[in-house]
Homo-oligomer: A and B are copies of this chain.
Amino acid sequence: MKIAVLPQLNEAQFKLLQSKTQADLVEINESEITAADLAQFEIILGWSDKIVDALTMDHSIKWIQLWMVGVDSIPLDELAEHEIIITTAKGANAPNIAQQIVGYLIMFTRHLHTSRDYQMKHQWERPADYGELTGKKALSIGTGEIGQAFAKIAQAFDMTVDGVNRTGHAVDFFNHCYAIAELDSLLGQYDYIINSLPHTPATDKLFAEKQFNAMANEAIFINVGRGKSVDEKAMIQALLNNEIKGAGLDVFEVEPLPANSPLWDMKNVIITPHRAGISDFYSPRIIDIFLENFPLYQQGKMPTVNLLDYQRGY
């Protein structure tokens, strides 16, 4: 069995794959590969746009293990037509994103970002009001792996985390889940509002003037989803007018965030360069997903972990 390996793996990761699959693994630099090359592999780890061309040839491709969480950039229709098995990286970045969310919240609550500013100036300055996460209420918009990983950790801080999803169906680790239609009426009740949604037509500028107005003046807004889910001008106004207390932002309408954005200089904004999703655990977790599915595939069965459902589109 021939397996193409497009992601850059380290030696230990590659050897693990080899020993567990006993297959003919070929590491390929995506920029150098042709569709004809790809057509000869039964399994492909990672993604290349050339796969679409390979499918139009006489090909062996049966299973693609994606190295990405979202599939919005993948031509699902073509893949479905050829009955390609697709498994995704869903959940592989959830722990690190959840940890980074907690990082923003502790920084705000314990003044660790402003202490850093004072450190730069060699100043021993003590803000007046030191809080805790204890007892705080968070609303997670998005109850997928990221929201769940955050809600699970938040329990250890004695926080209460409610969730928002399309239908309001219950999800593990959340105190209560609400339907997205109820969002505006919910926002005022939370200390922390956390967006982890992908950008879709339904989430475009989901957080606009009305939503920021609805938040409590003491609320902290966290965005680890996509910048285009937020009307950035409205958020900046809300921050300037003290309609919300602060924001921890990993994603922006335009990235890199332009040097002249007013967000950079706001003391109550923590800016990170769209790296919440990056972790040295990312590839190992996807390899685990693949290796859990591999024996099933060998037995002629369908993979069960992170199997893409073409009907649902995720």
Contact = CB atoms under 8 A, between A and B. Distances in A.
B280 A95 contact: no
Residues of A in contact with B, size category: 35 or more
A202 interface: no
Nearest to A266: B119
Contacts of A123: 259
Given A131-B279, A131-B280, A279-B132, A112 B270 contact: yes
Contact of A106 (B106, B133, B255): B106
A21 interface: no
Interface string A107-145: 101111101111110111111011111100000000000
A157 B118 contact: no
A272 interface: yes
A185 to B, nearest CB: 28
Contact of A125 (B99, B118, B273): B273
A271 interface: yes
Copies per assembly: 2
A158 B99 CA distance: 11
A275 to B, nearest CB: 6
A175 to B, nearest CB: 16
A115 B274 CA distance: 11
Most chain B CB atoms below 10 A, which of A129, A255, A275: A275
Interface of A: 95-96, 99-100, 102-104, 106-107, 109-113, 115-120, 122-127, 129-134, 152-153, 155-158, 255-257, 259-261, 264-265, 270-273, 275-276, 278-281
Given A122-B264, A131-B280, A153-B156, 17 more contacts: A95-B132, A95-B158, A102-B102, A103-B106, A103-B110, A106-B106, A110-B272, A122-B259, A122-B261, A124-B256, A129-B280, A130-B278, A130-B279, A131-B281, A132-B280, A132-B281, A134-B281
